[in-house]
Structure 1
């Protein structure tokens, strides 16, 4: 798991937010454990059935990406490409 991926994931807001990815509108929920050892992301394209979902676990100091019914390449592309809306309320 690259440091760039972890940095991009850390920049995504915790909780629900809306934003854009590949020209479409998305709703995304990011959950993080209090101890920082787990992150979970679920995103849905608004107006279509496209989605992205994964868990990230830190095991023995090493991050492990576990995509959920989503190819790892799509997960990585999504984290780098998702742009949260500035005034999400």
Structure 2
């Protein structure tokens, strides 16, 4: 289910709105899409979101970087993509 939210993010750079702030977000896929890195930085602010998501033959693993899983999940479920250009 969480993977569905991640797959809605374009690969590469995009901008999103979250909790009234704009974020620059980068999604990078590795290992044929079995490892995904998402990093979002609040533009003009100090907040950030950083996570790795791994898909193995037996399970899927969310690995937030220096923050709680709840913070990452709330971000992924509540962001809105901003169309570029």
Same fold (TM over 0.5): yes
Task: Report whether the alignment pairs 1:40 with 2:37.
Answer: yes
The Cα of 1:71 is off from its aligned counterpart by 1.0
Q: Which moved more, 1:74-83 or 1:31-40?
A: 31-40
The Cα of 1:60 is off from its aligned counterpart by 2.4
Q: Which residue of 1 aligns with 2:26?
A: 29
Which runs of at least 4 in structure 1 moved beyond 2 Å after TM superposition? Answer: none
1:41-80, aligned counterparts within 5 Å? 41-80=38-77
| TM-score where L is the length of structure 1 | 0.88
The Cα of 1:58 is off from its aligned counterpart by 1.1
The Cα of 1:65 is off from its aligned counterpart by 0.6
CA-atom RMSD in angstroms: 1.2
Q: Which residue of 1 aligns with 2:82?
A: 85
| TM-score where L is the length of structure 2 | 0.92
The Cα of 1:34 is off from its aligned counterpart by 4.8
Query: Deviations along 1:63-83, whole A, 9 cap, x unmatched?
Result: 101100121101001111111
Give, in whole Å, the separation in 1 of the partners of 2:53 and 2:45: 25
Give, in whole Å, the separation in 1 of the partners of 2:82 and 2:31: 25
